[in-house]
Amino acid sequence: MSVELAPGNKRGLTLASPLIAGSGAVGYADAWPPGLTAAMFGAVVTGPVTLRAQRGAATPRLAEVVAGFALEAGDHNPGYHRVLRDHDAAWRRLGVPVIVALGQSHPEDWVRLAQHLEEESGAAGLELVIPSSAGRAEAGTWISATRRAATLPILVKLPVASAEALAETCVEAGADALVIGGGLPAVGRVVGPEGHGRDALWIEGATGGPAAFPFMLQALRAVAALELQVPLVAAGGVTRLDDARRCLGEGASAVQVRSLCWIDPARVAAIAEALGPLPSANEENTP
Amino acid sequence: MIQTHATLITREVLGAGQELRLYAPELVRQLRPGQAVLVRGGWGADPYLRRTFHPIALDDETWTLRLPPSGDWAHAWLRVAPEGTELDCIGPVGNGYHLRAQARNVLCIGEGDAAWALLPAILDATASGLTVTFAMEAGLERDLIAAMRLPAAVEYHTATPDAAGRGRLPLADMLAWADMLLAAGSLDFYERLATEIEAVRFGVIEGFAQALYPATFLCGYGACQACVADVAGGRRRVCRRGPVFDLKDVTRVR
């Protein structure tokens, strides 16, 4: 079952499976959980990349919420130059498309990043993560500028709360596909030694896990109802095969899994097998 | 690292804590003292996060985790899971303690619940013919590890300092005697330890002391960036660089 995520783009972005490893699920395609290989996915989205190195959020970063967690890592990354130096060769050998996520902390840098990535990397596409605070005008400006700077397929990841409101603007600005998910805030209590020995320590971050699913699904339906003629990708709280099938049935062309790779890789493998057939990727390149 | 099922074979209730002995030969073959195992505490989607455990005992086919007294809901599930339950485990995570070939006198120092992670390392060290001293601090006497849990050859010192820090372990003699130190505790504890080492040994020399970083893991394989810590060299993933670090790397950045 192959999927075309950029039908309006000359370069195209063809996936051999509708299952995508979501942003950072396998780091920069260098951190693989036990039992998972690139061949199980139609594409891999990297962790966030920014122009300069980012230390990310303060610690602790992880807290538990009902049926999920709050994680605030910021755009922690060593900067695009080092990411390419360390990982680009592996991306080119991976055997499945690698989509590079551009960090949301500095959208004003997306143009330069897109140029660098197009010229210097084996990236098959870009994922632009629209900050939750962004309005139509900002989102449109950032995307159209990035579109002019690079020919790579552009996937725009929309915050759940504003996905419906921003979707049309993003497509008009040049998005090849829309990723529905992300930007869902959560506040949770820190578990483990960081949270012991003092009053409960609470942190605020993005929701991960099944808690995000109903909100993402609602946003997916709303965007699908707009009939924008671009592929949609569901990305938020998909933790069961039924969830993935439901998203595909509600208008998504592909589904991203992230937290499930971290929590239960065996279940990801089962979903991949059920959604197959598996692509003929080079398994040797995934440790 | 593998994802596997571990069968709960025995449960021992010790005071307010519990010890669960788990049959998981494939995991145990790879597991070393100080490494972590991520265990799911429930069958459904909630609680979603795995819990981080360091083995308190290891043998050929089983490992033992300790559930401390806590209100944690995953711990609560584990506390009542019947024998025979298959627990979903991912591990081992990161690097454990390692015994230097030249070491003869090993000092193990633990603080509170974290000290339990030293037990397998103590057994390894004594089995290797090393002389081991174990020193432990806890807030209450009942939280100290019972002497009978240690090999007979191990010298054991305990302390229950008060809130103001009075009654702490007298470390000077022990630090002068040791040529290797394994520690498990809080970051504040490591800071104090480093200060004592500097006073007795004129500096925390690389390779002398290893410290188990108190971290909670999400993925355990370096993707999620949840467990990062500021250590020597910058902000690093504890699951990749640790959880056992050189004490010098953990303390000199604070």
Task: Output the pLDDT for position A199.
Answer: 61
- In chain A, residues with a C-beta closer than 8 Å to the C-beta of B214 are 192-194
- Is the pLDDT reported for residue A281 higher than 80? no
DSSP string, B13-81: EETTEEEEEEE-HHHHHH--TT-EEEE--SSSSSS-S-EEE--SEE-SSEEEEEE-S---HHHHHHHHP
pLDDT tens figures, A98-128: 999 999 899 999 999 999 999 999 999 999 9
Q: How far is CA B41 from the centre of its chain?
A: 20
Q: Across residues B24-40, what is the average pLDDT?
A: 97
In this complex, which of A190, A192, A211 lies closest to B52 when CB atoms are compared?
A192
Contacts of B44 (CB under 8 A, 6+ apart): none
- Is the pLDDT reported for residue A173 higher than 80? yes
- Residue A285's pLDDT band (boundaries 50, 70, 90)? very low
The pair of structure tokens assigned to B197 is 């080492």
B30 touches chain A (CB under 8 A): no
Is the Cβ–Cβ distance between A268 and B219 less than 8 Å?
Answer: no
pLDDT tens figures, A244-266: 999 999 999 999 999 999 999 99
| Cα separation, A70 vs A187, whole angstroms | 6
- Is the pLDDT reported for residue B190 higher than 80? yes
| B68 phi and psi angles, rounded to 5 deg | -75, 165
In this complex, which of B49, B90, B229 lies closest to A191 when CB atoms are compared?
B49
- Comparing CA positions, the residue from A266, A258, A168 lying closest to residue A213 is A258
- Is the pLDDT reported for residue A39 higher than 60? yes
Task: Output the pLDDT for position A279.
Answer: 43
Beta strand A68-71 pairing with A62-65 = antiparallel
- Is the pLDDT reported for residue A192 higher than 70? no
- Is the pLDDT reported for residue A184 higher than 90? no
pLDDT tens figures, A65-95: 999 999 988 899 999 999 999 999 999 999 9
- Residue A267's pLDDT band (boundaries 50, 70, 90)? very high
The pair of structure tokens assigned to A226 is 């707009």
Enumerate the β-bridge partners of residue A24: A27
| Cα separation, A123 vs A126, whole angstroms | 7
- This complex has an ipTM of 0.93
- Is the pLDDT reported for residue B179 higher than 50? yes
pLDDT tens figures, B104-156: 999 999 999 999 999 999 999 999 999 999 999 999 999 999 999 999 999 99
Distance from CA of A74 to the nearest CA of B (A): 9
Which stretch of A22-31, B177-186, B225-234 has the lowest confidence by average pLDDT? B225-234
Which stretch of A25-34, A116-125, B5-14, B39-48 has the lowest confidence by average pLDDT? B39-48
pLDDT tens figures, B230-242: 998 889 999 999 9
- Is the pLDDT reported for residue A287 higher than 60? no
Sign of CA dihedral B213, B217, B219, B222: negative
Q: How far is CA A216 from the centre of its chain?
A: 13
- Is the pLDDT reported for residue A193 higher than 70? no
A198 touches chain B (CB under 8 A): no
What share of residues in chain B are helix, strand, coil (percent, to 5)? 25, 35, 40
Task: Output the pLDDT for position A12.
Answer: 96
Crossing angle of helices A213-224 and A163-173, in 10° steps, is 50
Contact B222 A35 (CB under 8 A): no
Classify A58 as helix, strand or coil: coil
- Is the pLDDT reported for residue A271 higher than 70? yes
Task: Output the pLDDT for position A186.
Answer: 84
Residue keyed to tokens 């075309």:
A4
Is the Cβ–Cβ distance between B109 and B180 less than 8 Å?
Answer: no
Q: Across residues A184-213, what is the average pLDDT?
A: 78
- Comparing CA positions, the residue from A186, A253, A284 lying closest to residue A15 is A253
- Comparing CA positions, the residue from A217, A88, A226 lying closest to residue A166 is A226
State pTM to two decimals.
0.94
Q: Across residues B156-172, what is the average pLDDT?
A: 86
| B192 phi and psi angles, rounded to 5 deg | -65, -40
Task: Output the pLDDT for position B252.
Answer: 67
Query: In whole numbers, what is the pLDDT of chain B averaged over residues?
Result: 93
- Which amino acid, one-letter code, is at A164? E
- Comparing CA positions, the residue from A230, A242, A264 lying closest to residue A3 is A230
- Is the pLDDT reported for residue B172 higher than 70? yes
Task: Output the pLDDT for position A89.
Answer: 97
In this complex, which of B3, B72, B229 lies closest to A191 when CB atoms are compared?
B72
Q: Apex CA A23: angle with CA B87 and CA A281, to 5°?
A: 85
| Cα separation, B95 vs A112, whole angstroms | 39
- Is the pLDDT reported for residue A32 higher than 70? yes
| Cα separation, A179 vs A157, whole angstroms | 4
Percent of chain B with pLDDT over 90: 81
Which stretch of A106-110, B2-6, B164-168 has the lowest confidence by average pLDDT? B164-168
List the 73-132 stretch of A: residues with Cβ below 8 A of B: 73, 76
In this complex, which of B50, B215, B216 lies closest to A263 when CB atoms are compared?
B50
Find, in chain A, the residue whose alpha carbon is nearest to that of B4.
A266
Burial class (CB in 10 A: 0-12, 13-18, 19+), B39: buried
- Is the pLDDT reported for residue B163 higher than 80? no
pLDDT tens figures, B79-105: 999 999 999 999 999 999 999 988 999
- Is the pLDDT reported for residue A54 higher than 70? yes
A79 Rama sector, left if φ>0, alpha if ψ -120 to 50, beta otherwise:
left
Distance from CA of B48 to the nearest CA of A (A): 5
